[in-house]
Chains A and B, each alone.
Chain A
Amino acid sequence: MKSSVLLFICCVVIWLGLNWPLTAGSLLSGVIVSIIVAALTGDMFVTRPHIAAHVRRYFWLAYYIVLLAVEVVKANIDIVFRVVHPDIPVNPGIVRVKTTIKSETGLTLLANSITCSTGTCTVDVDAGNGEVYVHWLDVKSQNTEAATELIVKKFEKVLQRIFD
């Protein structure tokens, strides 16, 4: 029930944004469709509705968005340097790193953040063993623990506070 209500609120907010100059017809049709969708698929998409009530998680989410934006800009400066440099200084390789995040949303966002941060791109996630395979433009260490420290830690701490 709780998860259906959450999904209903998300659907209505996105619908209102897409049809902003509000008319009675669009509001009514949006609400009706949202009720149907939320009643049918609420339990499928929102599996742990109780964590939406923890206020602290939203502050960490805001911090995560700022962190991600900074990382994306840093990654782009790095790419500009590598692409414009006449010799293309790359030292690529795929390394294995470990993660302790358990939730599916957390793992997905971790993989996305690794792809967006400096010189790294996720190739595969092994959720069962908590392993992530990362393509690294400039391999600094082939050791799993050292690479985990360099690539995963800064996002893992924040994402664990949001989703676990």
Chain B
Amino acid sequence: MNEFGYIFIVIGLGADFIGMLSLLRMPDVYTRMQAAVKTITLGTCAIILGVLFSYGISEVGFKALLCIALIGLTAPVSAHALARGAHKSGIPLSTESVCDHYHHSIVPSGEEKGNA
């Protein structure tokens, strides 16, 4: 049971490392946000799952389960709030970007409205 837990902890550390790397390599704030929130949700949940497997359903295990539920619910919400805040304060998408329908929804510009 313990070894099984260690496998999950190593997977989680690997995912967290990739998340860190994505913060350095991605071109703009939205792509970074996106890469970081996914890897860190999985990474942290996997580490906590490893703790759960190591301890079994005990006083530690149940708290671990609760943490997984809370992280799964709150991490995407915080990413969503940060992305929205970044867009509202005018941080542009990277030059590789192909479209930005959200911008058109705030500042209507005639023909771009609808299925641009």
Contacts and interface: CB of A to CB of B under 8 A. Distances in A.
Q: Chain B interface secondary structure, helix, strand, loop or mixed?
A: helix
Interface stretch (A1-9, A27-35, A51-59, A133-141): A133-141
A41 interface: no
Contacts, number: 143
B65 to A, nearest CB: 8
A18 B100 CA distance: 44
Interface of A: 14, 17-18, 20-21, 68, 72-73, 75-76, 79-80, 82-84, 88, 90-96, 108, 111-112, 115-116, 119-124, 126, 131, 133, 135, 137, 139, 142-145
Nearest to A95: B101
A115 B80 contact: yes
Residue among A18, A75, A79, A142 with max Cβ neighbours from chain B (10 Å): A79
Given A17-B66, A116-B76, A144-B115, A124 B34 contact: no
A20 B76 contact: no
B115 A143 contact: yes
A82 B93 contact: no
B107 interface: no
Nearest to A121: B34
Interface string B16-51: 001001100111101101110111011001000000
A93 B98 contact: yes
Interface in B43-86: 45, 58-59, 62-63, 65-66, 72-73, 76-77, 79-80, 83-84
A21 B93 CA distance: 51
A76 B98 contact: no
B109 interface: no
B73 A112 contact: yes
B69 to A, nearest CB: 10
B109 to A, nearest CB: 14
B95 to A, nearest CB: 10
A34 B79 CA distance: 31
Given A21-B59, A83-B26, A83-B35, 4 more contacts: A79-B38, A94-B30, A121-B79, A145-B115
B15 A76 contact: yes
26 contacts: A14-B66, A20-B62, A72-B42, A76-B18, A83-B22, A83-B25, A83-B35, A90-B96, A92-B27, A92-B93, A93-B97, A93-B98, A94-B97, A95-B101, A112-B77, A119-B34, A121-B83, A122-B83, A123-B30, A137-B31, A137-B35, A139-B98, A142-B99, A142-B101, A144-B114, A145-B115
